[in-house]
Amino acid sequence: MLNVTTTPAEKRKAFKQGLLSGTLQRVPGAFSPLVARLLEEQGFDAIYISGAVLSADLGLPDIGLTTLTEVATRGHQIARATNLPCLIDVDTGFGEPMSAYRTMVEMENQGLAGFHLEDQVNPKRCGHLDNKEVVPTADMVRRIKAAVEARVDPNFTLMARTDARMMEGLDAAIDRAKAYVDAGADAIFPEAMNDARDFEAFRKAIDVPLLANMTEFGKSDLLTAEQLQNLGINLVIYPVTSLRIAMGAVESAFERIRDEGTQQPLVPQMQTRARLYELLNYEDYNAFDTSIFNFKV
């Protein structure tokens, strides 16, 4: 009835197979379970749960203010609504190595398929802002090893993110990535790459799957899926796109309602009640117990 038949173990296996398939995995960000369900229907490969989006949805800037409990809870809400595997952003692991250990335990228990853990200092900031700081490589290695130690399902993907490109340069970021792979990271997320040449350099140097972050208004050129596939990138995320589109529409709509006194001109742009009910599988609930759910769409 809930239209989710795939177990967390199956999702993790599918996610890992996708990373190793040689085909670029297209992974948009979902800011809610309903969005995740829509993205599944549209045929994407997995779902991304962005720390920046979660912070923004709580009315907070992306500077490490969210807690492990908040992130794990939202991750579970989204993961349980879709058959697609979900990759979640866990920032710096909410502390030092012991916290990274607990983060792995919680994310596995909540049904996620993988997470990325980053090498910024704690508290962190958005990866596309200036004046970031990264911890020494040895500190990040300890975070990764603690998370690896906690992992139960070998198919859970532990991805290491390095933010060192902006502060230390490309070569240093690649050296860090190599150390993170040696520590047990299954994949690498090189954050805030400038252009295709940066990704090409990473691909030549690193032999595990690579993630490309195609976020709007950031440091990176917005490369196409075809370009990323040709560069040998394994996964692309569009982390904040759904939230930005939605908030842009909400802001515009309520400006008109404020100024015109009605939403009537906006109705043709809205998702219909019937379409929403279709996405929510109302009819299945209706069939399950017509004594309670006795409506018609």
Residue of 74, 128, 151, 161 marked active site: 161
Active site residue 216: no
The residue with tokens 């759904």 is: 242
Residue of 45, 119, 186, 191 marked active site: 191
Select from 46, 38, 41, 35 the least CA-distant residue to 10. Answer: 46
Phi-psi region of 9 (alpha: psi -120 to 50; beta: other; left: phi over 0): alpha
User: Residues 108, 157: contact at Cβ < 8 Å?
Assistant: no
Active site residue 255: no
Active site residue 128: no
Active site residue 182: no
Q: How far apart (Å, rounded) are the C-alpha atoms in residues 276 and 118?
A: 37
Active site residue 126: yes
Residue of 40, 45, 91, 108 marked active site: 91
Active site residue 89: yes
Extract the tokens encoding 245.
């589109």
Residue of 106, 119, 126, 155 marked active site: 126
Active site residue 161: yes
Select from 109, 115, 111 the least CA-distant residue to 143. Answer: 115
Give me the phi and psi of 37, to 5 degrees please: -65, -40
Residue of 26, 37, 48, 186 marked active site: 48
Axis-axis angle for helices 137-150, 97-109 (nearest 10):
40
Active site residue 213: yes
Residue of 45, 106, 108, 118 marked active site: 118
Give 115's strand partners.
88, 158
Residue of 213, 234, 238, 244 marked active site: 213
Active site residue 260: no
Extract the tokens encoding 63.
């500077």
Residue of 40, 45, 76, 89 marked active site: 89
The H or E element spanning position 211 is strand 211-213
The residue length of the chain stands at 297
Residue of 12, 116, 125, 143 marked active site: 116
Active-site annotation, residues:
48, 62, 89, 91, 116, 118, 126, 161, 191, 213
